[in-house]
Structure 1
Amino acid sequence: MELLINIDVDDLARGIAFYEQGLGLKLQRRLFDGTVAEMLGGNTPIYLLAKPAGTRPTSRSDTRRDYGRHWTPVHLDFVVANLEAAIERALEAGAEIEDWPQDFDWGRQATLSDPFGHGLCFVEWRGEGYGAVAG
């Protein structure tokens, strides 16, 4: 199975800039008449989809896209080598910090949101990572 990650943004140029400057991804190509940006640099490609605020996400949906901070049970975790440096880079690019680094048996984690209201975490492994809590 192949995994693709799609992230709606209301401003594609700003999305590209954030994911390049804040997370170190690189624009690989633009697709669908320039409405989609393929971002590479992790194990899975991330596609930024230009979707205006206020539009319906599906034909059956009663809700509308809103790029203010929103909660969803799905978010992205980015494994980083240096948590503080990753946070600083993301904040400079427009992220907002939600929880400063916390320590766990498996490593450290900070939670942030991107400029489009999507939650994300930075994870810095310690030792075996999640292997330290397997069982």
Structure 2
Amino acid sequence: MDEDGATRRADRASRSSAIALHRKESPMPRVLVNIDVANLEAAIRFYTSALGLRLGRRFGPEAAELLGAEAPIYLLEQPAGSVPFAGAAMHREYRRHWTPVHLDFAVEDPEPAGQRPGPAGPKRKGAATDRAGGAIPIGPP
């Protein structure tokens, strides 16, 4: 067994035990959010600085848990161009795109979140757009 394979299996086992622990605490299903990212360290900086989340556990060099939202968020480093599953017709790409499944973060006041300085801060995507569910002024760098 190669070292990388053993590490990945140990990381999966650790995440499985975390899921099992959540299920013991409540009979209701627990939501876990997984986000594929091209660069784990850059993603950690973005989500912790822009949204105030905090780094929980690390699962080897390619995955990290973020805490502070209503559901734990797992950042999973996956290279651009890789396939999400064997036989997939599409490959991962990280350009900004629209898909039927997306993730929005609700904050009390989006203006301070959009003005946090530094390379990890969000990029303004234009003027805030008022929608029935709120405003959408920023996105990841």
**What TM-score range do you get, normalising by the shorter chain?**
0.7 to 0.9
- Residue 61 of structure 2: SS of its match in structure 1? coil
Unpaired runs of 5+ in structure 1?
116-135
For residues 90 and 66 of structure 1, what CA distance do their matches in structure 2 show? 26
Q: Which residue does the alignment assign to 1:5?
A: 33
- The higher-RCO structure (CA 8 Å, 6+ apart) is 1
Q: Which amino acid aligns with 1:59?
A: A
Q: Which residue does the alignment assign to 2:85?
A: 58
The answer on 1:20 being equivalent to 2:62 is no
Structure 1 stretches of 4+ with a deviation exceeding 3 A read: none
Q: State the percentage of identical aligned residues.
A: 43
- Residue 104 of structure 2: SS of its match in structure 1? strand
Instruction: Find the structure with the greater CA-based Rg.
Output: 2
Larger strand share, 1 or 2: 1
Q: Number of residues paired by the alignment?
A: 113
Unpaired runs of 5+ in structure 2?
1-28
Q: Per-residue deviation at 1:97? A: 2.8
Q: Which residue does the alignment assign to 1:113?
A: 139
Larger helix share, 1 or 2: 2
What's the TM-score, normalizing by structure 1? 0.72
Kept in 2, the 8 Å contact 1:22–1:91? The answer is no
